């Protein structure tokens, strides 16, 4: 049988009420007493009844996380970080896969789900500003990704324009002049694709290189087969690229496979950069240079802001821009390039 409040109180030499105050994070407990109680909790392995605590405040103790596709490693890795961040605050996470469909995104905040969760973190692809504004009025809300409109809800993102520009500048800095891009999405809702294309074009313009639409290949989805098909199209050009910026790592891994199967050396013949820093890219041959968003900080910021809203914070929508870094690996390092064995 686990330790009880009485056991903790006895070991710490305080009343049961004092232990309860520490567990429930009431402020009016001295630092010395709080420390003594926490030491007793750790020593005894006491676990509070979180369900009772949440019910006391009329909460479920569950937050929602709605992501487009868990089959995309970036979202799976981000979900893991959100779960860890919520767990540190003694909250659970209910995950929905929306497939980027408007009907499924709307369901995350309606019906039984809205009664189950206390707040929602969502990466919306199909919902418009009007619906998200109404959603925020009914449920604490944090958005992930590009802003759908100004001042809708709390937002956590990376600076995708800068990230794309830095990735393209890295390729240009290698002396490459035929830099292609894979991942454009020619639809109005393609926020992330649009801003990554913007960063790519800004880097070309700054280097005095004319934008060539033949070097920009769209991708309906961001999976390996899409990247492989796009790379085959680029290799069919009369003057194929000597570098490729892919809008995510899965596209880059697909493109990499096409290049190696064609007997081309990466990066000696064609250098490749992706975005997301997924685990697969650290173990590919060659390993993948990528823009690495700080997934831990994205998750922590989203959970922190959401719980502040759940706890009653009434303030204008806030925006957190999480850091990113270019992780240079073998796919742009000419000293360590790889060629598919023939």
Burial of 259 (0-12, 13-18, 19+ CB in 10 A): buried
Q: Is the pLDDT of residue 52 over 60?
A: no
Tell me how many degrees the CA angle 163-164-167 measures, rounded to the nearest 5. Answer: 90
Return d(Cα 259, Cα 253) in angstroms, integer.
10
- Per the model's pLDDT, the better-predicted residue between 105 and 148 turns out to be 105
- Per the model's pLDDT, the better-predicted residue between 18 and 222 turns out to be 222
Give me the pLDDT at residue 190, please.
57
For range 133-143, the mean pLDDT: 87
Give CATH 1.10.260.40 domain extents, the chain.
5-48
Whole-model pTM above 0.85?
no
Maximal CA-CA distance, the chain: 81
Three-state SS at 102: helix
Q: Is the pLDDT of residue 89 over 80?
A: yes
Q: Is the pLDDT of residue 342 over 60?
A: no
Q: What are phi and psi of 94, to 5 degrees?
A: -105, 120
Give me the pLDDT at residue 18, please.
86
Size (the chain), residues: 342
49 pLDDT tier (thresholds 50, 70, 90): low
pLDDT per residue as tens digits for the range 62-75: 999 999 999 999 99
Say if residues 119 and 309 touch (Cβ distance below 8 Å).
Answer: yes
Return d(Cα 232, Cα 258) in angstroms, integer.
7
Q: Is the pLDDT of residue 321 over 80?
A: yes
Give me the pLDDT at residue 147, please.
79
Q: Is the pLDDT of residue 319 over 60?
A: yes
Phi-psi sector, 267: left (phi>0), alpha (psi -120 to 50), beta: alpha
Give CATH 3.40.50.2300 domain extents, the chain.
60-158+295-323, 160-292+326-332
Say if residues 8 and 20 touch (Cβ distance below 8 Å).
Answer: no
CA 101 vs. chain centroid, Å, equals 18
- Top-level class of domain 160-292+326-332: alpha beta
Tokens of 163: 């990230």
pLDDT per residue as tens digits for the range 189-228: 558 999 999 999 999 999 999 999 999 999 999 999 999 9
Instruction: Kindly report the number of other CB atoms within 10 A of residue 2's CB atom.
Output: 8
Which span out of 90-104, 129-143, 183-197 was modeled with the highest average pLDDT?
Answer: 90-104
Q: Could you give the C-alpha distances from 249 to 35, 163, 222, 224, 279, in angstroms and in order?
A: 46, 14, 9, 9, 10
pLDDT per residue as tens digits for the range 234-284: 999 999 999 999 999 999 999 999 999 999 999 999 999 999 999 999 999
pLDDT per residue as tens digits for the range 280-309: 999 999 999 999 999 999 999 999 999 999
Q: What CATH number does domain 60-158+295-323 carry, 1.20.1050.10, 3.40.50.2300, 3.30.420.40, 3.90.550.10?
A: 3.40.50.2300
Q: Could you give the C-alpha distances from 68 to 3, 123, 286, in angstroms and in order?
A: 42, 7, 29
Q: Is the pLDDT of residue 92 over 80?
A: yes
In the 8-state DSSP scheme, what is residue 207?
T
Q: Is the pLDDT of residue 330 over 90?
A: yes
Tell me how many degrees the CA angle 72-181-280 measures, rounded to the nearest 5. Answer: 30
Ordered alpha helix ranges (H), 139-242: 160-173, 191-206, 224-235
148 pLDDT tier (thresholds 50, 70, 90): confident
pLDDT per residue as tens digits for the range 163-195: 999 999 999 999 999 999 999 997 655 589 999
- Beta-carbon contacts of residue 68 (< 8 Å; ≥ 6 apart): 75, 97, 98, 99, 100, 123, 125
337 pLDDT tier (thresholds 50, 70, 90): very low
Smallest CA-to-CA distance from 306 within 123, 118, 173 is with: 118
The domain 5-48 having CATH identifier 1.10.260.40: the answer here is yes
Give me the pLDDT at residue 3, please.
75
């Amino acid at each position: 049988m686990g330790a009880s409040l009485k056991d903790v109180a006895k070991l710490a030499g305080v009343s049961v009420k004092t232990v309860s105050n520490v567990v429930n994070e009431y402020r009016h407990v001295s630092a010395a007493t709080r420390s003594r109680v926490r030491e007793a909790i750790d020593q005894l392995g006491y676990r509070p009844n979180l369900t009772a605590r949440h019910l006391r405040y009329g909460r479920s103790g569950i937050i929602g996380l709605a992501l487009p596709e868990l089959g995309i490693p970036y979202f799976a890795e981000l979900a893991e970080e959100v779960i860890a961040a919520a767990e540190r605050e003694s909250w659970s996470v209910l995950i929905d896969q929306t497939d980027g469909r408007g009907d499924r995104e709307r369901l995350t905040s309606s019906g039984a789900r809205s009664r189950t969760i206390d707040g929602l973190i969502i990466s919306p692809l199909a919902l418009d500003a009007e619906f998200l504004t109404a959603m925020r009025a009914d449920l604490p809300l944090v958005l992930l990704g590009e802003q759908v409109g100004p001042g809708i809800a709390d937002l956590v993102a990376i600076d995708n324009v800068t990230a794309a520009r830095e990735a393209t500048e890295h390729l240009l800095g290698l002396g490459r002049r035929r830099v292609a891009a894979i991942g454009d999405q020619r639809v109005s809702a393609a926020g992330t694709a649009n801003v990554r294309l913007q960063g790519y074009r800004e880097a070309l313009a700054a280097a005095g290189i004319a934008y060539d639409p033949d070097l920009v290949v769209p991708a309906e989805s961001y999976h390996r087969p899409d990247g492989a098909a796009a790379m085959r199209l680029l290799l069919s050009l009369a003057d194929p690229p000597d570098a490729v910026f892919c809008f995510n790592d899965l596209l880059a891994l697909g493109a990499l496979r096409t290049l190696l199967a064609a007997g081309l050396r990466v990066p000696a013949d064609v250098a490749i950069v992706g975005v997301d820093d997924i685990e697969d890219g650290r173990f590919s041959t060659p390993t993948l240079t990528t823009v690495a968003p700080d997934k831990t900080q994205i998750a922590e910021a989203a959970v922190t802001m959401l719980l502040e809203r759940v706890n009653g914070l009434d303030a204008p929508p806030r925006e957190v821009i999480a850091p990113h870094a270019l992780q240079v690996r073998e796919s742009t390092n000419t000293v360590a390039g790889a060629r598919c064995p023939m």
